[in-house]
Structure 1
Amino acid sequence: MIELKSQAEIERMHVTGQFVAQILSELGDLADVGVNLLDLEHHVRDRIRQRGAESCYWDYAPSFGKGPFRNVICLSVNDAVLHGLPHDYTLGDGDVLTMDLAVGIDGWVADSARTIIVGTPAEEDLRLIRATEEALVAGIEAARPGNRLGDVSAAIEAVASGYGYPINTEFGGHGLGRTMHEDPHVPNRGRAGRGLKLRAGMTLALEPWLAATTDRIVFDPDGWTIRSADGSRTAHSEHTIAITEDSTLVLTERQPHHADSAHRS
């Protein structure tokens, strides 16, 4: 069942989205060579507590996970791309760091992810990140009333394929609103003109993610962290959007500032 949101409800989700965006911007500034992932985790915990928000991840226990998730952000490094458990790891020069955050404020959720490079960037890693970002933009542009869900998936796929990257379909985007995961599922591969018709009031998290040379994944022994099966680098970009009668709103759009880029030195 898909719950269409009113303009007032979308505005409340936007409040949450801007908080998520602000934290991801802060983490982009904090992540540096020599910084421990647990330092980033505790920064997010403090910010959530100060705001009176609620983590969507704490105690999250889906069928694929190993026990309840006991962190407030997913931090995935290099060949890890999804659901990375923050742990005692110190970021090194050239590390690729994906940060994925979902919180609720006053009962309304927003979800967003970004990938950055710590220290000295490798061109192939920048290219991979750029592909996910461009795929996300393409998906957002296709998310219009009257279009089909397949149009969004096909737009994402076209960008990834144009870059020559394989596409995994086991994990993708999703609806959200009162909870983190609602219908529909939004694959990162699809056929234009097929699938559910998009309507004003739908709120979706679009999240293209890619590994450089494989579409296969493996799980860490922790039961959560998902890595590329061949150890190749990964990247992930995600925004929460709302479809309205005349536009598509990006509810988690980050406000640009001098340090907001894929490269962190």
Structure 2
Amino acid sequence: MVEIKTPEQIAKMREAGLVVARVHEACRAAAVPGATTKDLDDVARKVLAEHGARSNFLGYGGFPATICTSVNDVVVHGIPDAVTVLKDGDIISVDAGAIIDGWHGDAAVTLFVGEGHAPELHELSRVTEESMWAGIAAVRQGNRLVDISKAIEGYIRRQPRPATGKYGIIEDYGGHGIGSQMHMDPHLLNYVDRRRGRGPKLVPGFCIAIEPMVSLGTAKTHVLPDDWTVKTDDGTWSSHWEHSVALTAEGPLVLTAVDGGRAKLAQYGVTTAPDPLAGA
């Protein structure tokens, strides 16, 4: 069953989403050569505490940290620790979440550590992020879940191939419903699988976390013995971007974007819904 939210509940999710945005801002500043992934986790923990929020990652299924820190060929669910030291030229996905009054926010960004990254890494991150926005632009009344998948995959497939030969759209992980829990129905593929049908219709109150994961090679992954860390099978580096989005009667609202998604969605001719916290 898909959980449909009231405007009041969406406002609470917006509160949580803005805390997630602040976590990412702080982690972006902290992701420098010599920092450990635990340093980033400590930063995130502090930001959550300052805003009266809880991490929805800590303790989830036994996950031992506040955020996920996935470096280079780690796709998702990397566990922060004091041993993994960030180096100049690394890329890292920081996946973070927050709970406010029982309502969840969830988002991820790919960050560049230091300087001197190969152009193909910048392009990988750009393609992944822009495919997410293409998916967000498909969150409109009358569409179905598969229209989001189609927009994400279509954007990626239209891009020039990287020097490695292809972009791999990770198959085993995808987006998800979000609201009173972090992970809810429906599951969102980042590609079209016609066997799954078209999925539910998008209606006001529908909330979804859209999160493409793309590698410079394979779409296949494996989980390390810690039962969390997910790596690409061929060792190619990957990018991960995510936003939580609510569909309202007045259009989409990107709950985890500071401006509600207004600037990026304007490029698609999409007008965002008014921010329920504006002026608060």
- How much has 1:166 moved relative to structure 2? 2.3
- 1:232 is matched with which residue: 228, 233, 236? 236
Offset at residue 14 of structure 1 (A): 0.4
Residue 97 of structure 1: SS of its match in structure 2? strand
The equivalent residue for 1:182 is: 184
Q: In structure 2, what is the Cα distance between the partners aligned to 1:119 and 1:46?
A: 23
How many positions carry a matched residue from both structures?
Answer: 250
Q: SS of the counterpart of 2:75?
A: strand
Q: CA deviation at 1:195?
A: 2.2
Distance 2:122 2:25 in 1: 18
The CA RMSD measured in Å over matched residues stands at 1.6
Alpha-carbon separation, structure 2, partners of 1:147 and 1:191: 16
TM normalised by structure 1 equals: 0.91
Paired position in structure 1 for 2:131: 135
Given that residues 17 and 110 in structure 1 are in contact (C-alpha distance below 8 angstroms), is that contact kept between their aligned partners in structure 2?
A: yes
Q: Distance in 2 between matches of 1:133 and 1:156?
A: 10
Q: Which residue of 2 is the match for residue 77 of structure 1?
A: 71
Q: Which residue of 2 aligns with 1:215?
A: 219
Matches of 2:128 and 2:236 in 1, distance apart? 15
CA distance in 2, matches of 1:224, 1:30: 23
Residues in 2 aligned to 1:126 and 1:55: alpha-carbon distance in whole angstroms: 29
Question: Following TM superposition, where does structure 1 have runs of at least 4 consecutive aligned residues deviating by more than 4 angstroms?
Answer: none
**Distance in 2 between the 1:116 and 1:203 partners?**
26
Distance in 2 (CA, whole Å) between partners of 1:169 and 1:189 is 8
Equivalent in the alignment of 1:262: none
Q: Aligned runs of 1:1-265 on 2, under 5 Å?
A: 1-61=1-61, 68-87=62-81, 88-120=83-115, 121-163=117-159, 164-190=166-192, 194-254=198-258
For the residues of structure 2 that align with 1:4 and 1:109, how far apart are their CA atoms?
14
Residues 151 and 191 of structure 1: CA distance in aligned 2, closer, same or farther (over 3 Å): farther
The answer for unaligned runs of 5 or more in structure 1 is 62-67, 257-265
What displacement does 1:47 show?
2.0
Distance 2:85 2:184 in 1: 35
Structure 2 residues without counterparts, runs of 5 or longer: 160-165, 261-280
Which amino acid is the alignment partner of residue 64 of structure 2? R
Amino acid at match of 2:84: Y
Deviations 1:102-138 (A, max 9, x none): 1101111000000011112211110110011110110
CA distance in 2, matches of 1:178, 1:103: 12
Distance 1:22 1:160 in 2: 28
- 1:136 is paired with a residue whose SS is helix
Contact 1:160 / 1:166 at 8 angstroms: preserved in 2?
no
User: What is the TM-score normalised by the length of structure 2?
Assistant: 0.86
How many Å apart are 1:191 and its aligned residue? 6.3
1:251 and 1:47 mapped to 2: Cα distance?
18
CA distance in 2 between counterparts of 1:161 and 1:92 reads: 31
How far apart, CA to CA, are the structure 1 residues paired with 2:218 and 2:258?
Answer: 30
Return the alpha-carbon distance in structure 2 between the equivalents of residues 103 and 185 of structure 1. 20
